[in-house]
Amino acid sequence: MPKKSYIITLENGIRITCFLDTQKKLVERFVIKLEILINSQWTEVERYDTHHGYVHKDILDKNGNKKRTVQYKLLDNKSGSNVAIKDFRENYKIYIERFFND
């Protein structure tokens, strides 16, 4: 299964990290992470993935613990990965503010 990974830089110290496992142009699994650079270390703010067999988003606290999970069971994996990237591109400032203020 081909594995693809790439990084989308949003601002200095803020990025989207993408990991996809594909098979014949189908996305079998993925992890899309919104990350911020804190004290020279990349820290996850939120993460979309298919770890439990369906698309979902984990909202994390400053210690990396899940605060909440949002399920997207109606999305297929390819659509889910596209939604994740679009969501993080458009809303990353809100998510980062929530991360620091909750």
102 residues of the chain, pLDDT tens digit each: 689 999 999 999 999 999 999 888 889 999 999 999 999 999 999 999 999 899 999 999 999 999 999 999 999 999 999 999 999 999 999 999 999 997
Q: CA 82, 85, 87 angle in degrees (round to 5)?
A: 105
- In whole angstroms, give the CA distance from residue 56 to residue 74: 10
pLDDT in the model for residue 24: 85
Question: What tokens does 4 get?
Answer: 């693809």
pLDDT in the model for residue 4: 92
Element (H, E) at 17: strand 14-23
pLDDT in the model for residue 9: 98
pLDDT in the model for residue 102: 78
Got the DSSP string for 58-82?
EEE-TTS-EEEEEE-TTS-HHHHHH
Residue 12 contacts residue 19 (beta carbons within 8 Å): no
pLDDT in the model for residue 86: 98
pLDDT in the model for residue 57: 98
pLDDT in the model for residue 1: 61
